Copies of this chain bind each other. A is one copy, B any other.
Amino acid sequence: MNKLIILDKRPKGKPSIKDFKIISAEKPKIKGTEILLKAVYISVDPYLRGRMNDSKSYVAPFKLNEPIQSGVIAEVIDSAHSDFEKGDFVVGNLNWSEYQTSSGEGLHKIKDTSANLSSHLGILGMTGLTAYLGLTEIGQPKEGETIVVSGAGGAVGTVVGQIGKLLGCKVVGITGSDEKVSLLKSTFKFDHAINYKTTKDLKEAVKNACPDGVDIYFDNVGGEISDVVLANINKHARLPVCGQISLYNSTEVSLGPRLQTILLTKSATMKGYIISDFSDKFSAATAQLTSWLSDNKISFAETIVEGFENTPQAFIDLFEGKNKGKMIVHL
């Protein structure tokens, strides 16, 4: 038998376990030159929330009563395709499904198995690329500059901070628990980390952590945290907008201080992106990340949840910040 997780209802506000349904089906069989895949790791990511609405976000919305899709690592367990053999591992945008067939299109075979398999969803996958390319292409860090990262304890945030340090910058992280504050400072070598939930005066905390102002604000969360950081930017600041997790569950338009005045007086650049904007730079970026990883210059955190049926809850937990680093489901 096979199990699939489908979108049963479009979430209103915060997603609920009831918005998803686990259904059973026949185990699929390959046709023509297809391959049969068994999922091993499923990536859950905040951006998926946007695709659960009935409006175009980055990409087309998920369809009701069809499986959710995200980054998945799977093992090839049957193959009629000349490029794939039984026992190969692949990564790609696949269904939340124990088994599935594929034409092989869009899948990448994991050839270098020296790193942990799951790292191909994280530091060597979309997460690493998102951090590296957002920071270097939009942030354009220069030695000695100050970078502030929000959502710093998340998958992308932990990588951004480490790359910032490798490039000679001062790095300040904003996160939501004391445990993550410690992790950022000890494991990931952030210069400062601020727990926004317990800090009495976030304005003051950011100002104190950044006496020379903020040159780059790598934004994963949006909302009031971003308002505070933006009040501290320097002339010619660069502001990559990678995510807005604090707003993904909003049911109304979120109001805040208009940004244009700050961008104008600071000659600052704010740019949103999706990683596919930089697809021509993927191989160079992956080579750099692989090299840092094998030289132990960069490390990564994973929160691994066991059991396919726990995938919806793992996704929901992202919005409570229950993950440290990359949230992955292991089957």
Q: Which residues of A contact B (CB under 8 A)?
A: 50, 56-58, 219, 222-223, 226, 236, 241-244, 247, 253-274, 277
Contact = CB atoms under 8 A, between A and B. Distances in A.
B270 A263 contact: yes
Contact of A247 (B56, B57, B261): B261
Number of copies of this chain that the complex holds: 2
Q: Which one of A50, A257, A262, A267 has the highest number of Cβ atoms from chain B below 10 Å of its Cβ?
A: A267
Contact of A244 (B56, B242, B264, B266): B264
Given A267-B277, A268-B272, A271-B270, A259 B261 contact: no
B272 A267 contact: yes
B257 A257 contact: no
26 contacts: A219-B260, A222-B258, A223-B258, A236-B277, A241-B264, A242-B264, A247-B258, A247-B260, A253-B257, A253-B258, A254-B258, A255-B255, A256-B256, A259-B259, A259-B260, A260-B270, A262-B272, A263-B270, A264-B274, A266-B272, A267-B271, A267-B272, A267-B274, A268-B272, A269-B269, A269-B271
A278 B266 CA distance: 14
B277 A272 contact: no
Contacts of A271: 263, 267-270
A327 B290 CA distance: 58
Contacts of A56: 265
Given A268-B271, A269-B270, A272-B268, A255 B253 contact: no
Given A226-B260, A260-B241, A260-B244, A58 B255 contact: no
Nearest to A266: B272
Contacts of A277: 236, 267
A263 B254 CA distance: 14
A277 B255 CA distance: 30
A242 B267 CA distance: 10
Contacts of A259: 259-260, 270
A9 to B, nearest CB: 22
Contact of A261 (B222, B261, B267): B222
**What are the 8 closest A-B residue pairs judged by CB atoms, nearest first?**
A263-B272, A264-B272, A269-B271, A256-B258, A253-B257, A254-B258, A255-B255, A241-B260
Nearest to A252: B257
Q: Which one of A57, A253, A256, A264 has the highest number of Cβ atoms from chain B below 10 Å of its Cβ?
A: A264
Contact of A243 (B223, B253, B264, B273): B264
A79 B238 CA distance: 46
A55 to B, nearest CB: 9
A180 to B, nearest CB: 22
A262 B244 CA distance: 10
A65 to B, nearest CB: 25
B265 A50 contact: yes
Nearest to A47: B264
B270 A270 contact: yes
Q: Which one of A223, A260, A269 has the highest number of Cβ atoms from chain B below 10 Å of its Cβ?
A: A260
Nearest to A277: B267
A263 B270 CA distance: 8
Contact of A255 (B226, B242, B257, B260): B257
